[in-house]
């Protein structure tokens, strides 16, 4: 079981500080450290509450590594008025309107009624709804090609993967993928649909993916190159 236990800060080389989030995972055998590109923070995993201080010292000893990894992250792309944020690979301008009601898509604009303080949250909700509709449409197509009904779909924040398929057939996809070009979205949907047949990444699995979308190397290369930029969407500067 994993739960967030603490938030601390460490000093960085040359001045400045970095936020460090410490989680407890009682299954962990040792302290682990990684960078969360969405939160733009260092994440520590400790085996118990008693090891939290040890974990923070562990992070401080590796401050050079943390600083270099944080510096390598793409610039944050916050959801602010006037920003151009891609949807299915096409830049869309974010606009705020007064009043209440659902956000609406008008050509190359996303108009979200909200106060300035709630604008970013309204944009995120609108993008998640757009993602749900787009992903569900592709999953229907790919599942039908496999002779299966459309699988249950969840769209949510995913920090280490773009999608997952549970053994009961439930599929989860990252809402951030809605920013990717259509051919990338289609590949990820096909990838997870293929897991309905093969819960592995063996030759039979990749043969299914190839049957569903054809050559997929370009989509995989795009995700590898542009994935960090997707995690920067909605991040604060």
Tell me the mean pLDDT in the region 230-236.
Answer: 88
What token pair was written down for 176? 């951030």
Q: How far, in Å, CA of 170 to CA of 164, rounded?
A: 8
Region 21-35 average pLDDT: 89
Mean pLDDT taken over the chain: 92
pLDDT at 177: 98
- The residue among 84 and 51 whose pLDDT is bigger is 84
Q: Tell me the pLDDT tens digit for each residue of 63-121.
A: 999 999 888 999 999 999 999 999 999 999 999 999 989 999 999 999 999 999 999 99
Give the integer Cα–Cα distance in Å for 21 and 121: 23
Give me the pLDDT at residue 1, please.
45
Instruction: Give the Cα separation of 86 and 124 in Å (integer).
Output: 13
| pLDDT score for 10 | 86
pTM of the full structure: 0.85
User: Is the pLDDT assigned to residue 210 strictly greater than 60?
Assistant: yes
Q: In a 3-state reduction of DSSP, which class is residue 177?
A: helix
| Distance (Å, whole) CA 183 – CA 213 | 9
The pair of structure tokens assigned to 222 is: 């795009």
Query: Pick from 186, 193, 194, 197: which is nearest to 220 by CA?
Result: 186
- C-alpha span between 164 and 177 (Å, rounded): 13
**Interatomic CA distance for residues 211 and 170, integer angstroms:** 21
């Amino acid at each position: 079981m994993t739960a967030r236990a603490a938030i601390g800060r460490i000093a960085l080389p040359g001045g400045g500080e970095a936020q460090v989030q410490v989680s407890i995972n009682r299954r962990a055998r040792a302290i682990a450290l990684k960078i969360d590109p969405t939160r733009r923070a260092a994440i520590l995993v400790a085996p118990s509450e008693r090891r939290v201080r040890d974990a923070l010292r562990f992070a401080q000893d590796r401050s050079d590594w943390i600083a270099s990894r944080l510096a390598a992250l793409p610039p944050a792309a916050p959801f602010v008025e006037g920003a151009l944020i891609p949807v299915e690979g096409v830049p869309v301008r974010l606009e705020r309107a007064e009043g209440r009601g659902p956000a609406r898509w008008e050509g190359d604009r996303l108009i979200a009624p909200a106060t300035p303080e709630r604008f970013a949250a309204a944009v995120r909700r609108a993008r998640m709804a757009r993602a749900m509709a787009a992903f569900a449409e592709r999953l229907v197509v790919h599942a039908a090609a496999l002779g299966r009904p459309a699988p249950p779909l969840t769209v949510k924040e995913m920090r280490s993967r773009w999608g997952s398929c549970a053994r009961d057939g439930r599929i989860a996809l990252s809402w951030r993928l809605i920013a990717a070009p259509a051919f990338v979205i289609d590949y990820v949907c096909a990838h997870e649909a293929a897991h309905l047949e093969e819960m592995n990444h063996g030759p039979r699995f990749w043969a299914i993916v190839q049957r569903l979308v054809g050559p997929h190397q370009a989509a995989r290369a795009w995700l590898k190159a542009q994935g960090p930029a997707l995690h920067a969407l909605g991040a604060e500067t």
